[in-house]
């Protein structure tokens, strides 16, 4: 496409001559996303990238946008109002157009890092996840290729290479995660992919959604809460409260949670997409926690907060 506005006019999503503002949105490395606003227009235009914007080479098929569109439709049907509306998808151009969130909505990651820590957001996310995990994508849309390209290879396989003493344990976790499953797994269930409004929230970024193992979503969110607990130790009890509310909201036991969290903690310091806000000493602490969880698969995840310095 030539320009975003030209593209939207050509697809009939914007009337010719309407004054339009286009502003980049930040927060991810796998896509280009812009906000398009004007009279009667409030859209987010997302184009999947074949080369992710990180220091190391990280390639992925941009046609994953089609899978994201299918997952968004299913997730929105199961939980109306909990995901942005999919307005248009162009599989050839690898573009999706979504409804833009209201301007007063805030990114949950930013709120958590600023010390605004509401356990009820965690509880709501647990409830939503239980709903989504109870469904599955159609068989012809359920492959895990994007999940492998964007999660297993750059996270687990890289960690296995960089921590040879843990290689068998990490690879065993990864091998289980790519087994066929019957649950809709989001695959990027992170605070950065949650927008919070006054009385509602959206879960964004379904590009690695697949039918798989539900534990990955739990582990992904809990790992992020532990990262923030190490980064902001004074707020660690509050982050633990969010984790507890999240698990309560889900309402069912989760097997193999600790080893999955352990892998993801290590991935956020030694994988291809390290958490940018962590300081060197904090990264060492995350390595200690992640390695410990991989060596202690029976650990209760909420008890990990007791291991923090």
**Between residues 276 and 223, which one has the greater pLDDT?**
223
What is the CATH topology of the domain spanning 4-307? Aminoglycoside 3'-phosphotransferase; Chain: A, domain 2 (3.90.1200)
Minimum mean pLDDT range among 64-68, 115-119, 235-239: 64-68
Residue 1: predicted pLDDT? 42
Residue spans of the domains in the chain: they are 4-307
Residue 56 CA to residue 273 CA, distance in Å, equals 9
Residue 23 CA to residue 45 CA, distance in Å, equals 10
172-210, pLDDT tens digit by residue? Answer: 999 999 998 999 999 999 999 999 999 999 999 999 999
Against a cut of 0.95, is the pTM above it?
no
35-59, pLDDT tens digit by residue? Answer: 999 999 999 998 877 665 545 555 5
Residue 54: predicted pLDDT? 47
81-105, pLDDT tens digit by residue? Answer: 999 999 999 988 888 999 999 999 9
* HEC secondary structure over the chain: CCCHHHHHHHCCCCCCCCCCEEEECCCCCCEEEEEEEECCEEEEEEEECCECCCCCCCECCCCHHHHHHHHHHHHHHHCCCCCCCEEEEECCCCEEEEECCCCCCEEHHHHHHCCCCCHHHHHHHHHHHHHHHCCCCCHHHCCCHHHHHHHHHHHHHHHHHHCHHHHHHHHHHHHHHCCCCCEEECCCCCHHHEEECCCCEEECCCCCCEEECCHHHHHHHHHHHHHHHHHCHHHHHHHHHHHHHHHHHHCCCCCCHHHHHHHHHHHHHHCCCCCCCCCHHHHHHHHHHHHHHHHCCCCCHHHHHHHCC
Report, as an integer, the average pLDDT of 265-294: 96
| pLDDT surpasses 60 at 251 | yes
Instruction: Give yes or no for a contact between 242 and 125, defined as CB atoms under 8 angstroms apart.
Output: no
pLDDT band (50, 70, 90) for residue 264? very high
104-157, pLDDT tens digit by residue? Answer: 999 999 999 999 999 999 999 999 999 999 999 998 776 788 899 999 999 999
| pLDDT surpasses 50 at 245 | yes
| pLDDT surpasses 80 at 159 | yes
Cβ atoms < 10 Å from Cβ of 48: 24
Residue 123: predicted pLDDT? 98
Residue 290 CA to residue 280 CA, distance in Å, equals 15
């Amino acid at each position: 496409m030539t320009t975003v506005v030209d593209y939207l006019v050509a697809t009939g999503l914007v009337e010719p001559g309407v004054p339009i503002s286009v502003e980049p949105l930040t927060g991810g490395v796998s896509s280009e996303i812009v906000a398009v606003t004007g009279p009667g227009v409030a859209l987010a235009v997302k184009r999947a990238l074949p080369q992710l914007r990180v220091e190391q080479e990280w390639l992925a098929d941009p046609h994953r946008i089609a899978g994201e569109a299918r997952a968004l439709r299913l997730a929105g049907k199961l939980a109306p109002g909990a995901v942005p509306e999919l307005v248009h998808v162009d599989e050839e151009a690898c573009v999706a157009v979504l409804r833009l969130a209201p301007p007063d909505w805030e990114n949950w990651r930013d709120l958590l890092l600023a010390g605004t820590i509401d356990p009820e957001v965690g509880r709501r996310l647990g409830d939503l996840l239980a709903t989504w995990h109870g469904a599955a994508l159609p068989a012809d849309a359920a492959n895990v290729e994007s999940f492998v390209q964007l999660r297993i290879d750059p996270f687990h396989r890289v960690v296995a290479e960089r921590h040879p003493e843990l290689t068998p344990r990490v690879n065993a976790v990864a091998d289980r995660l790519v087994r066929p499953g019957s649950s809709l797994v989001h695959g990027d269930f992170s605070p950065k992919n949650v927008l919070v409004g006054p009385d509602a929230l959206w879960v964004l970024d379904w590009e690695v959604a697949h039918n798989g193992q539900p534990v990955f979503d739990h582990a992904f969110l809990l790992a992020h809460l532990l990262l923030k607990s190490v980064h902001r130790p004074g707020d660690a009890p509050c982050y633990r409260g969010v984790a507890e509310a999240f698990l309560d909201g889900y309402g069912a036991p989760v097997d193999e949670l600790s080893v999955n969290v352990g892998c993801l903690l290590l991935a956020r310091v030694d994988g291809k997409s390290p958490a940018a806000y962590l300081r060197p000493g904090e990264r060492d602490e995350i390595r200690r926690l992640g390695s410990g969880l991989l060596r202690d698969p029976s650990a209760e995840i909420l008890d990990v907060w007791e291991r923090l310095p």
